[in-house]
Amino acid sequence: MTTNGTARMSIYSDLGLEPAINASGKMTALGGSVLAREVTEAMAAAGREHVVIADLMVEAGRWIAGVVGTEDACVSSGASSGVAIAVASLIAGTDKHLIQGLPGRVGRPFEVVIQKGHSVDFGAPITQMIALGGGQAVEAGSVNRVEVSDLRGAIGPDTAAVMFVQSHHTVHKGMVSLEETIRVAHERGIPVILDAAAEDDLQRWALSGADIVVFSGGKAIGGPTSGILCGSRELMTAARAQYAGIARPMKVGKEQVMGLIAALTLGGVSDTDARAEGEGQRARMQALATRLAEHPGIDAFVEQDDAGRQIFRTVFTVRPESGTTAPRVAAALASSHPPMYLRDNKAAAGQLALDPRPLSADEEIILLDRLDDILSAAAAA
């Protein structure tokens, strides 16, 4: 049973599951993105034919590089494998003996310096992705404060790379900026890996000066489960070479490669695309905020993403006068039929948010009706 009494048709019903309504963001735990028809059609077409995978990887990389503005690119199964492959490439290059010696020590520099406030867990720890690539994370500074001198001090003879994480997951205050990080690393001849997994302005990050930039294909790009590494021809040749080593169990299928390209064809890769989409979201989210604020004890407003992306969310605060709490509202939604998820990373502070990106117009109505019911029931109790 769903809220409105009619079961939604779903492929997942075959397994006894209900499709979830996702207003939390591009969450891997909820299946990343809903794919556009163009993307699923490309994946289906790719699945019906054979292709020489080594050639596909080279040509797809070349095509993607044309979109993001770098010399070359390499497709991965996700941003997390992208990080492992980037580390492996910088340790082993294209030397097959070294490639196949990873993730063990191969007699090459292997340390990856990362600011302590960037040492995040996005569902798994980034330090573990570094280790899978044969590296070892060396954390610089403290969680809330890293100085240029901490970064300089952490770089030594065994340093293979400096890693920078551009993400809403990281600490945003007291860290060394990307520009400074690149300057400090390059002064010492050390390459920089930039994990920009969920960012929407691909060109901006791809051309930031970092040597290898990693994106998730399933987040802002709206593609299938996949990832992108981009950078110089030499480094991307090394990245592809890792598929004879640690990247083999992280391999990406022809369907994902072609689905990713189809998603990139649909746009969302420039600042202009992101801004246009952001403006549409702002209007939608304002309407939701106005409706939620009609409930007693609920303050609602529209807020831009705190990592500065062109994402506008409805944020609402659940005050005691509402008769309920933010965690209870989130729990009630999650146990509804269908299950519904809000952005709840600030629930302990009384705040919940709705992310417009993964939410269709129909789902928005179902979610808002259910929220109205939950809040009205709490106020009446």
Q: Which residues bind ligand PLP (CB under 6 A)?
A: 28, 78-80, 122, 165, 167, 169, 195, 197-198, 216, 218, 227
Residue 307 CA to residue 172 CA, distance in Å, equals 8
Nearest approach in angstroms of CB 280 to ligand PLP is 24
CB 364 within 8 A of CB 337: no
Closer to ligand PLP by Cβ: residue 70 or 216: 216
Closer to ligand PLP by Cβ: residue 197 or 247: 197
Nearest approach in angstroms of CB 30 to ligand PLP is 12
Closer to ligand PLP by Cβ: residue 191 or 227: 227
Pairing of strands 312-318, 298-304: antiparallel
Closer to ligand PLP by Cβ: residue 205 or 312: 205
| Residue 316 φ/ψ, nearest 5 degrees | -135, 145
CA atoms within 13 A on the CB side of 258: 18
Nearest approach in angstroms of CB 374 to ligand PLP is 29
Nearest approach in angstroms of CB 345 to ligand PLP is 13
Closer to ligand PLP by Cβ: residue 145 or 169: 169
Residue 235 CA to residue 241 CA, distance in Å, equals 10
Closer to ligand PLP by Cβ: residue 101 or 223: 223
- Where in 257-375 does DSSP place strands (E)? 298-304, 312-318, 340-342, 351-354
Q: Classify residue 142 by its DSSP letter.
A: B
Closer to ligand PLP by Cβ: residue 78 or 141: 78
Closer to ligand PLP by Cβ: residue 96 or 346: 346
Nearest CA to 68 out of 201, 180, 196 is that of 201
| Sheet with 212-216, side-by-side order of all strands | 72-76, 227-231, 212-216, 192-195, 159-165, 111-115, 136-140
| Residue nearest to ligand PLP according to CB distances in the complex | 78
Instruction: Report which residue type is found at 43.
Output: M
3-state DSSP helix/strand/coil % of the chain, to nearest 5: 45, 15, 40
Nearest approach in angstroms of CB 119 to ligand PLP is 11
End-to-end CA distance of the chain: 25
Chain-centroid distance, C-alpha 278: 18
Q: Token pair for residue 109?
A: 């520099």
Nearest approach in angstroms of CB 97 to ligand PLP is 28
Residue 200 CA to residue 259 CA, distance in Å, equals 18
Closer to ligand PLP by Cβ: residue 216 or 314: 216
Nearest approach in angstroms of CB 58 to ligand PLP is 22
Nearest approach in angstroms of CB 225 to ligand PLP is 7
Nearest approach in angstroms of CB 9 to ligand PLP is 28
Which residues does 18 contact at the CB level (< 8 Å), separation at least 6? 2, 8, 10, 12, 337, 338, 339
Give whole-number Cα distances, 216 to 43, 139, 182, 366, in Å: 17, 23, 22, 29
Nearest approach in angstroms of CB 118 to ligand PLP is 9
Closer to ligand PLP by Cβ: residue 199 or 211: 199
Residue 76 CA to residue 243 CA, distance in Å, equals 10
